Structure 1
């Protein structure tokens, strides 16, 4: 029996149609992948099916879950009865789905207790088992703000799965995860199919799409561009857009010509040692950031990459060693591009208000916002919206725009492309490289994607698992030790 049949699902913002009619079906044991660039309508499709669209948007079409039939755009209460029991979503933004006042274990246990009906003690035990399966056994008692982006994503996945819904919609489930964790999540999602469940995966991650397999729908600007079996589409894409999407994979990027820099040191760390909750993440680290050069920082989730950035920016005091800034730098010369921009924007203010305030505060040149909007392929109409009304990829690019308004000399970019599709990622990375070359910006670029780091960095700092063994490989002519 077909688990889900969504017919002619369309989404409107007033009279403006954001998503052209799309029909999808989910059969037991057969996954469906929705692939497309940031802002293509992938998440809108999922929200329309789930009945969770923002209040200012309107859906049309019909949703049939098993023997239940609902009108897309019907009152949210009609869908709410099915959430977690019949259909569940693995959210794109863990910071919006996790309660900041609840520990990780309690959040997963709550779903087991309230949705699945387990007794409190049994729910707590099962939550511990779920988190341990994700490599998060030590995170049971931590709050969301104490987790890395990848760890928070895994906690959100565990909570969403706890209700046992037969249909799972996974919205960018591997965003912010390293390759090993991505593979673990893919295996977990595919395991649901072995029990006769239905799986829809929304992603711009080409490697994840290949692993999930099944059927594929390619979306662009709210329109279906191509459909077919995932394996066949990747092997022989018919649409020019699909070919461009596949060609933009970091593996195919040309290597950046190493920047010579000016020799001026912007920031230097000497004998740096960092720890969190008693675990040593960085020990005796020396590094130098120079104008016009890109330092790539890579390693698995939770190994200390973001902690290193906090120390370089003066947000985290080191246990030993020191960070020395060039004496001529103003206080705002070093900026951070946060891994999770949704947590870094004021939710109740329009994006235009926020950016205008930042531009005024830092005396940015006239027209700087408009220039950066164009370079980042962002629609100026987005500035009238609040952060919750734009896609994760759009918000991440807006976060980059905001950081550049401060006219920094050093930018710590923490996973700046984790929410971006390959085409937009390529464009943003190209822009960062141009800023390093043309404006002498020193960039510390963090990414789980080792291929991306190797292609765009002048120097590379690799972190080993759990931050316990760090191998520095400064310069392309030196051995890169993982």
Structure 2
């Protein structure tokens, strides 16, 4: 990769994103040197992803932008978005926050990565493959194997876990070899080992001359990447400097609060929770599930009682989402049985989706979706409004379509909808993976309250239970009383203590 080290990879000057006269992003200025990295931290909805889309020249109408953007020295007015479209793939690349948006659901994984190598990949790698699809597929297979995805090469995206889809999308984007890459939440939903692999890949790309603008809620990643760090709040940069300096001695109150709310600093909340009571909400006996020749888990025995928070842990692809779907009755096990407490309606078992976009009809405004739910189940709209306010969500967000709000905002709206149902069991699949540490803390406080509440008039003394999937070991340490581990050996075991 030929990179001019005397020219910044990216220079943004007074960039603003506006909706009518309202500024969503306010006069952001930043510079990334060649082969450098700038990490952008901030709460969900602060404008980080909007900033990325403005740099790419990919803002949807009616949004518009002002200011100037220079990529590798080529400067254009920010509002001339189409002038940057010709750079996509070859000089500028974006890995979006939602991996499903970067993957073709009709194309197998290997072909998606190979297509990038064959059509827009680096010239040296195309030459290594003699420009053929066979060579591109060989490069794709090696790249997939390097991130532990060799077995996924012939699968479709819908057959992948969220973490696996994240890594495939990263490889497909990285294969283009653009000297500047914008990465939105690259470690979202990944366990510690996979996060380390993504970090190694980012460092290797940087060593080859790639510059990075990394948008993340992961303070560990910001610290590990080094370089520059900027903090965004309400559409403006409030603090900027060397990453090590900002993280060690933040100047702004919000930055200090953000760092203090990192899950590694949370207390052991489960120690203060009341003892479980009300009997088992679900009893799981000898449950097993396979897809083809791939065994996800076998002989799982567990029970979940009211008032409990139980973590489901295991590496990416071990079947955690599938296990939760079996508990809810959405998927049948190959063997074994799940017995749910009698007297509870099907709606008493609720799921918080890993991908919140899958929880809403894409062409119906959020307010209408929620009003339909309230009317169907005769719920109290004012309770929903109170929950949204507590999660710092503006009522005006409900007048948008699902794709018009950030992933973190949509995740919180999906959570509020589930809490309104007063379920007996919540299967929460990475419920805070798109949230900053401050909002994560607020959300888990809400979930703890829900677990302590009476949830059924038909079942005496019934308490809600939370079945939690998260790759964040610190969250498990803090909130979970017990843990069910998948992929731990030939026989999966239930650990009594988290």
Same fold by TM-score greater than 0.5: yes
Check conservation: 2:8, 2:73, Cα contact below 8 A.
Answer: no
**Which whole-Å CA distance do the structure 2 matches of 1:208 and 1:358 have between them?**
39
Check conservation: 2:318, 2:486, Cα contact below 8 A.
Answer: yes
Check conservation: 1:281, 1:303, Cα contact below 8 A.
Answer: yes
Q: How far has the Cα of 1:15 moved from its partner?
A: 0.9
Check conservation: 2:419, 2:450, Cα contact below 8 A.
Answer: no
**Which whole-Å CA distance do the structure 2 matches of 1:309 and 1:86 have between them?**
42
**Which whole-Å CA distance do the structure 2 matches of 1:470 and 1:10 have between them?**
52
**218-227 or 409-418: which moved more?**
218-227
**371-380 or 175-184: which moved more?**
371-380
Q: How far has the Cα of 1:340 moved from its partner?
A: 0.7
Q: Residue by residue, what CA displacement relative to the aligned partner does 1:446-467 show, whole Å, maximum 9, x if unpaired?
A: 10011101211122223346x7
In the other structure, the counterpart of 2:86 is 81
**Which whole-Å CA distance do the structure 1 matches of 2:276 and 2:80 have between them?**
58
Tell me the SS of whatever aligns to 2:202: helix
Check conservation: 2:34, 2:209, Cα contact below 8 A.
Answer: yes
Q: Residue by residue, what CA displacement relative to the aligned partner does 1:408-466 show, whole Å, maximum 9, x if unpaired?
A: 1111000001110000000001100011113421110110011101211122223346x
With over 3 angstroms needed to count, the CA separation of the structure-2 counterparts of 1:364 and 1:136, relative to structure 1, is same
**Which whole-Å CA distance do the structure 2 matches of 1:169 and 1:212 have between them?**
14
Q: CA RMSD in A?
A: 1.5
Q: How far has the Cα of 1:395 moved from its partner?
A: 0.8
With over 3 angstroms needed to count, the CA separation of the structure-2 counterparts of 1:450 and 1:468, relative to structure 1, is farther
In the other structure, the counterpart of 1:285 is 300
Whether 2:120 is the aligned partner of 1:115: answer yes
In the other structure, the counterpart of 2:309 is 294
Tell me the SS of whatever aligns to 1:19: strand
Whether 2:484 is the aligned partner of 1:454: answer no
Alignment of 1:134-173 (within 5 A): 134-173=147-186
Whether 2:74 is the aligned partner of 1:61: answer no
Within the candidate set 121, 125, 140, 1:127 is matched to: 140
**Which whole-Å CA distance do the structure 1 matches of 2:100 and 2:490 have between them?**
27
Within the candidate set 395, 414, 426, 1:399 is matched to: 414
Check conservation: 2:36, 2:211, Cα contact below 8 A.
Answer: yes
5+ residue gaps, structure 2: 1-6, 455-462
Q: Residue by residue, what CA displacement relative to the aligned partner does 1:139-195 show, whole Å, maximum 9, x if unpaired?
A: 111111100000011111111112110111111111111111111111111111112
Q: How far has the Cα of 1:469 moved from its partner?
A: 5.5
Q: TM-score, normalised by structure 1?
A: 0.95
5+ residue gaps, structure 1: none
**Which whole-Å CA distance do the structure 1 matches of 2:34 and 2:376 have between them?**
55
Tell me the SS of whatever aligns to 1:470: coil
Q: How far has the Cα of 1:30 moved from its partner?
A: 2.0
**Which whole-Å CA distance do the structure 2 matches of 1:308 and 1:202 have between them?**
31
Q: How far has the Cα of 1:366 moved from its partner?
A: 3.8
Check conservation: 2:35, 2:211, Cα contact below 8 A.
Answer: yes
Q: How far has the Cα of 1:388 moved from its partner?
A: 0.9
Q: Residue by residue, what CA displacement relative to the aligned partner does 1:230-249 show, whole Å, maximum 9, x if unpaired?
A: 11111111111111111101
Q: How far has the Cα of 1:375 moved from its partner?
A: 2.4
In the other structure, the counterpart of 2:465 is 442
Q: How far has the Cα of 1:57 moved from its partner?
A: 1.2
Whether 2:196 is the aligned partner of 1:174: answer no
Within the candidate set 87, 103, 107, 1:98 is matched to: 103
Within the candidate set 404, 413, 416, 2:431 is matched to: 416
Whether 2:47 is the aligned partner of 1:41: answer yes
Check conservation: 2:281, 2:304, Cα contact below 8 A.
Answer: yes
